[in-house]
Chain A
Amino acid sequence: MSEDLLARITESIVGGEPESVVALTRKALESGLQPLEIINQGLVAGMNIAGERFTRGEFFLPHLLIAAKGMQGAMELLEPELGARQQVHEAVGTVVIGTVLGDIHEIGKSLVGTMLSANGFKVYDLGVDVPKEDFVARVKETGADLLGLSALLTTTMIGQREVIEAIVQAGIRDQVKVIVGGAPVSQAWADEIGADAYAANAMDAVEVARRVLM
């Protein structure tokens, strides 16, 4: 019965039915399943399938966005439960992610965050229009291994460089790897501003995050 629920959560994620993901998650909690079980065997399993299909070219952006929406909705229910039960996600790494100052584009950044957390990273999403001081403070506070910077505007790309300069100044550059992304960003830009890596989409971001932390 509970396996069945988890399998249905996975299916709803992959099938692109965010409303049922949330409903099933609620049901799973009510039926006494542990939040971590729901996350790992339900949600993450689904996101992984969606991600693989995306990589194989069978899924496209809308699929992935809808799957992520289901996961995000379910996580909103599960996060407080996790906290209440003092359960911690065993994480492969800790990531601070956000869109740089002056830029409000959120969708790509959140998708990257969701894929990372579906792949075992502990993700602190600072949102959009984030000042460099906040990035520095949160990296220090969380002891993050990875800092993800998103920029969607030609005018705000420069913000990525400024954040990197700020973490150098704060003396924490060698504690954290920086990955950058967003439509106008390229590998060459990443090289130029001294980022550790660049990723073109959310699935690549997971690959790259694993690689730089090795």
Chain B
Amino acid sequence: MSKKSSSVPEYFHVDFEPIGRRVENNAGKTLLAAAQTAGVQLVSLCGGVGSCNSCRVRLVSGELSTPTREEQDALGADDLAKGYRLACQAIPLTDVKIDIPPESLTAPQRLQIEGQETFIEPDPVVTAFDVQLAPPTLDDLRSDVARIRQVLDDLGIACPVIRLPVLEGLSGRLRAQSWTARLVLRGDEVIAGLPQDSDLLGLAVDVGTTKLAAYLVDLEKGNTLAKTGRMNPQISYGEDVVSRIAYTINNEEGRKLFQAKLVEAINDMLAELHNQTSTSSEQVVEAVVVGNTAMHHLFAGLPVRQLGEAPYVPAVADPMDIPASEIGLALAPGAYVHLPPNIAGYVGADHVAMLLATDVWDSARTVLALDIGTNTEISLATGGRLLSCSCASGPAFEGAHIHDGMRAAPGAIERVQIVDGEVRVHTIGSQPAVGICGSGILDAIAEMVAAGVIDSRGKLQKDNPLVREEDGVVEFLLMPAESAGHERDVIVTQKDVSEVQLAKGAIRAGIEILLEAAGVAHDAIEEFIVAGAFGTYLDIRSAVRVGMFPTLPVDRFRQVGNAAGTGARQMLISAERRQATAEIVRRVEYIELTTHPNFTNEFIKAMSF
């Protein structure tokens, strides 16, 4: 025990294994809270309310609070007896040692940074001028700024604005550079005074609910110099946006905390990008950040409560330019961060960026484009119209609410085949299987349907040799314990099938409603674009087989990777592309599914196989 036993101790030590992280945890705080303070990325899909069973850990030594009702429900007597607990429920009563099973750890994971490169003529919102200033002398006592004004005036730029963060460094700079400089202007504002001939750089960031992707771009040449990714650090506070919104409602400091965590992670990525390219933060004179509406708001420090309650409206939908220095982003001191417009509460700037990058918005053809996440945004371009909707597909494809679900990390089953009654799987990194990720569960269900293991309504067929019944629970054995990476079988339960039905049903229903609203038949879809992390790795054939996507020739589908990131890069290097987003937002007809009379019908229909 950490304190003399005369009084109640203030904290206990929590030792997280196998990663070997040890923290002091205030008495009365849960193991999940301990993990969060320690920066241990424990999965907590439900945001810590004890309903998702994703934060399972095992007590190795020490004493924890008695299991809560949630723990008894989620874990069952067997697992409890083995020492398994829910980190979000269990509170240390002594110093404890905790074992984190691989499936409960979020990192490391496959990050989503690959996107297509498209060539865009660079025309950035910033311009640079290499200048030579007259040094001050005893006869010329004008201020430094007056000198800058003078040279700019000669270049035809009158009355430039220079804000304080820029001024702070400028005088020293000019002297160190012998009165030469590369003045960077954004409109009539001087935002940096770099050494002459410096490359102008920009930063594009895609803030996903789960993952972050960052790109360092040469603003004048238009090419991407380096890219990197991270998990969204907010993840340990709740998996989906609504859980995070709930966190900010229940914890006053939550909004600040989420913003700080994001900024810290982006700065961290920036440092890595600079390292890779031997560049410096001074050179990064512009940034574009895209994300769904909730991430956008949390990044900008805006209130999100109204996004969590009907009618789910954004605080701001217009594009914004915020000074990087105001939110602590480590860019050039005068740099701005551009946040493109949002379409609706659940169709954000990331979708706008995706529509931009894929040219869906001004396509003369009939194109359907979607980005599958816990929230799936879908757009349909046809006959000059652009229709969009958002459907709540839920986190099943991120591995949540799936019995052996996990995110796309090493050891996750990502491909499944059933050949002549024999199950074959492939895992990420070819490691022993510890669970199933989104593309794996999709494949599994598709193969099970094809092999007659489940019927058209989703019922597991008990008489099938691959299906077993244990204590009244019907399940499909994907990988027996002997071959798996831990002591448990990897299985697909009846409930897993239902979860996938809800998710794919919601997505398909959204697609159908858009097609119906535009009066377009399935086979009129000339191109079907699938973006996003899960969309990159899923097997299109499986998606069609389970009925998540309509039946179309395979060559009409295009998997484009992180198109939101690509769109952000385009907006970084081209003012014209940036302007196009206004046009996109103006043209979008947003179809609200929540009140759509046909949603329920389509949803029920689409749940079958």
A interface residues with partner B (beta carbon < 8 Å): 16, 57-63, 65-66, 69, 101-104, 106-107, 128-129, 153-156, 184, 186-189, 191
Q: Is the beta-carbon distance between B607 and A57 smaller than 8 angstroms?
A: no
A73 to B308, CA, bound (A): 32
Q: Is the beta-carbon distance between B249 and A61 smaller than 8 angstroms?
A: no
Q: Is the beta-carbon distance between B68 and A188 smaller than 8 angstroms?
A: yes
The 8 A CB mask of B298-335 against A (1 = contact, 0 = none) is 00000001001110000000000000000000000000
Choice from A60, A62, A65, A184 contacting B49 with Cβ under 8 Å: A184
Residue of chain B at shortest CB distance from A103: B310
Q: Is the beta-carbon distance between B498 and A61 smaller than 8 angstroms?
A: yes
Question: B347 to chain A: closest CB distance in Å?
Answer: 16
The 8 A CB mask of B21-52 against A (1 = contact, 0 = none) is 00000000000000000000000001101110
B3 within 8 A of A: no
Question: B51 to chain A: closest CB distance in Å?
Answer: 6
Q: Is the beta-carbon distance between B51 and A58 smaller than 8 angstroms?
A: no
A60 to B310, CA, bound (A): 29
- Known contacts: A65-B604, A107-B603, A187-B69. The answer to whether A155 contacts B51 by CB under 8 A is no
Interfacial chain B residues near A187, Cβ < 8 Å: 69, 73
Interface residues of B in 425-474 (CB under 8 A from A): 457-459, 472, 474
Residue of chain B at shortest CB distance from A68: B604
B245 within 8 A of A: yes
The 5 closest A-B pairs by CB, nearest first: A102-B309, A155-B308, A104-B594, A154-B246, A62-B607
Q: Told that A60-B458, A62-B457, A129-B310 touch, could you supply 4 new A-B pairs with CB distance under 8 A?
A: A62-B604, A104-B595, A153-B309, A184-B46
Residue of chain A at shortest CB distance from B304: A155
Q: Is the beta-carbon distance between B242 and A60 smaller than 8 angstroms?
A: no
Q: Is the beta-carbon distance between A153 and B308 smaller than 8 angstroms?
A: yes
A107 to B505, CA, bound (A): 13
Question: A127 to chain B: closest CB distance in Å?
Answer: 11
Q: Is the beta-carbon distance between B50 and A186 smaller than 8 angstroms?
A: yes
Question: A114 to chain B: closest CB distance in Å?
Answer: 12
B171 within 8 A of A: no
Q: Is the beta-carbon distance between B459 and A58 smaller than 8 angstroms?
A: yes
A184 to B46, CA, bound (A): 8
The 8 A CB mask of B53-88 against A (1 = contact, 0 = none) is 000000000000000111001000000000000000
Instruction: Supply 27 A–B pairs (Cβ within 8 Å), ascending by A.
Output: A16-B457, A57-B474, A58-B459, A59-B459, A60-B458, A60-B494, A60-B497, A62-B501, A62-B607, A62-B608, A69-B600, A69-B601, A69-B604, A101-B309, A102-B309, A103-B309, A104-B310, A106-B600, A107-B603, A155-B305, A155-B308, A186-B49, A186-B50, A186-B69, A186-B70, A187-B69, A187-B73
Question: B74 to chain A: closest CB distance in Å?
Answer: 10
Interfacial chain A residues near B243, Cβ < 8 Å: 154
Interface residues of B in 474-505 (CB under 8 A from A): 474, 494, 497-498, 501-502
Q: Is the beta-carbon distance between A155 and B594 smaller than 8 angstroms?
A: no
A155 to B309, CA, bound (A): 7
Q: Is the beta-carbon distance between B600 and A63 smaller than 8 angstroms?
A: no
Q: Is the beta-carbon distance between A65 and B595 smaller than 8 angstroms?
A: no
Q: Is the beta-carbon distance between A65 and B70 smaller than 8 angstroms?
A: no
Q: Is the beta-carbon distance between B607 and A186 smaller than 8 angstroms?
A: no
A156 to B242, CA, bound (A): 10
Q: Is the beta-carbon distance between A155 and B607 smaller than 8 angstroms?
A: no
Q: Is the beta-carbon distance between A60 and B457 smaller than 8 angstroms?
A: yes
